[in-house]
Amino acid sequence: MTAYARLTARFARIATVGEASSVLGWDAAAMMPPGGGAARGDQLAVLAGLAHGLLTAPETADDLAQAHAQTEAGDDEWDAANLALMRHAHTRATAVPADLVEAQARANSACEKVWRDARGRSDFAAVSPYLVEVVSLVRQTADAMAPALGLSPYDALMDGYQRGIAAADVAPVFARYEAFLRDALPRAEERQARQPLPVPLPGVFPADRQEGLCRHLSARAGLEAAHARLDRSAHPFCGGTPTDVRITTRYDEADPAQALMGVLHETGHALYERGLPAPHARQPVGEAAGMAAHESQSLIIEMQSCRSDPFLAWLGPELHGTFGGPAEPYAPANLSRLWRRVGRGFIRVEADEMTYPAHVILRFRLEQALVSGDLAVADLPGAWRDGMAALLGVTPPDDARGCLQDIHWYDGAFGYFPSYTLGAMAAAQLMAAARRDVADLDAGLGRGELGPLVGWLRLHVHSQGNRLGFNDLLRAATGKPLDPADFEAHLTARYLADGSAPQA
């Protein structure tokens, strides 16, 4: 075997260990009894240590030193990109001692379990010491990786979620959006106030009927039941592996929107995983192109497509047929006012697409301060309240609706949050390009057909794997790198346009 062939075999083993960890993580959120938490933490820590050991073994370094993409892998650009990604992964891993990797995994698991209970009781004090430990270990990890990668500590963390994007790239994009929001949000609220109030959907919406409709909508989008599960968890997510996708959601029997749109969102993630290039499975180049790219795929399905007027016109009768009652509340105009309502709320996952980026901007700034040490964990609740007041003019009444609402920090995920809004912006840019390339795309959405859009995404995004960086992926698909103007144009057309013309 050549050095490159040995590397591909080794990285396939590393990926398989990661798949096992992903399924165990899904089980912890969806199936595991509470008493299994400590053992699960040990299991995940051992698997993290095994993957780290495979990646940092002397044999890996020897083969990386010997491997040359042009001589051993030929002139294939996929193999060349794969080798470059292997080197990058090895640099990240060898910078962090194995005992720190396992300590981080254990601390994350312990903190996340305490957070689940603390959030329900709005008890930040209960989880605070665990978060102190997580943040301390995150800082140590970031400090270890930074010099090896030639990045700042926070950028080293961001690099783990979206390669090639740094805080200096994100900050001006977010500052531009903050200025846009200051003008656009009051205008959207004023326009909304002139419209009739939305009529709430009537009655009780049994969870089993919601689940059946969720499965139906996910299947219409193209997700095969033979390769996916839908279960329940406290925090909706998509996990598993490309051939064994695990989606979770939560049901509110007073309002089906959270589950329906949540499942469509996670279906976008799942379709991306299912569409990754099979010939490069379990190789770095065969993975998704980062979390911002992943978020673009969930949001182009949920926000760009399934909350559009054409799709809502199709969805209304489906909802009425499932839940019954009077038909009027299911009219497209009412659904659009109900499910595209702008509001200054406390909860990120319930935010509309115009105010959602403000929630991300807050977290981006706070987590930088936590990692740098400029913000102490004990001061996080107050800093959160001040930040929400400054960005959206609202102050959370308790920590459950403040700094306890998200799982990410309590599970050790720092540097992740920018991906959400970068993904929303990329989704708008990709949708604009798809509309240019795919004839009658919106007419298809009006028939509940997502296939033409998903087919375009398969070609331009999914099948590209991790061969290209975020901006290069967008440039290849749309003709330009990330351009926030497309997102602003989308919001302007949907929330600020005068007249009664349907808005996509």
pLDDT in tens, 380-432: 999 999 999 999 999 999 999 999 999 999 999 999 999 999 999 999 999 99
The predicted model scores a pTM of: 0.93
The pLDDT, as a whole number, for residue 41 is 87
**Tell me, what's the pLDDT at 70?**
52
Q: What would the two tokens of residue 285 be?
A: 């180049």
Query: Is residue 457 pLDDT above 60, yes or no?
Result: yes
Contact 420, 349 (CB under 8 A): no
pLDDT at 502 over 50: no
How far does the chain reach from its first CA to its final CA, in angstroms? 54
- Tell me which of 266, 287, 353, 449 is the catalytic residue: 266
94-114 per-position pLDDT tens digit: 999 989 988 998 999 899 999
**For the chain, percent of residues with pLDDT exceeding 70:** 97
CA 463, 465, 467, 470 torsion-angle sign: positive
Give the pLDDT score at 76. Answer: 86
pLDDT at 449 over 80: yes
- Span 15-32, mean pLDDT? 95
Residue 155: which residues within 8 A CB-CB, separation 6 or more?
146, 149, 166, 167, 168
Counting residues of the chain whose pLDDT is more than 90, the rounded percentage is 92
pLDDT at position 68 is 80
Per-residue model confidence (pLDDT) at position 349? 86
Q: Any catalytic annotation for residue 266?
A: yes
Distance CA(151)–CA(100), nearest Å, equals 20
Over 80: is that where the pLDDT of 211 sits?
A: yes
Residue 42 to residues 17, 53, 215, 375, 413, Cα–Cα distance (Å): 15, 16, 34, 30, 19
- Give the Cβ contact number of residue 183 at 10 Å: 10
CB-hemisphere CA count at 13 Å for 179?
Answer: 7
pLDDT band at 501 (very low <50, low <70, confident <90, very high): very low
Mean pLDDT of 195-217: 96
3-state secondary structure of 466: coil
C-alpha span between 402 and 360 (Å, rounded): 13
**Separation CA 1–CA 337 (nearest Å):** 62
Maximum C-alpha span of the chain: 71
Condensed to tens digits (0 to 9), the pLDDT of residues 225-241 reads: 999 999 999 878 999 99
Q: For the CA atoms of the chain, what is the radius of gyration?
A: 23
User: Could you give the CA distance from residue 257 to residue 352 in angstroms, rounded to a whole number?
Assistant: 12
| Strand 244-249 with 228-232, pairing | parallel
pLDDT in tens, 329-341: 999 999 999 999 9
Q: Which amino acid is at 318?
A: E
Sheet holding 237-241, edge to edge: 228-232, 244-249, 237-241
What mean pLDDT comes out for the span 145-151?
97
Which secondary structure element, helix H or strand E, spans residue 240, and what is its range? strand 237-241
Whether the pLDDT of residue 136 is over 80: the answer is yes
DSSP string, 304-336: IIITSHHHHHHHHHHHHHHH-S-SGGGSHHHHH
What's the confidence (pLDDT) of residue 234?
81
Query: Residue 72: what pLDDT?
Result: 54
Residues 341-379: pLDDT tens digits? Answer: 999 999 998 899 999 999 999 999 999 999 999 999 999
The whole-number pLDDT of residue 133 equals 98
Tallying the residues shown for the chain, one arrives at 504
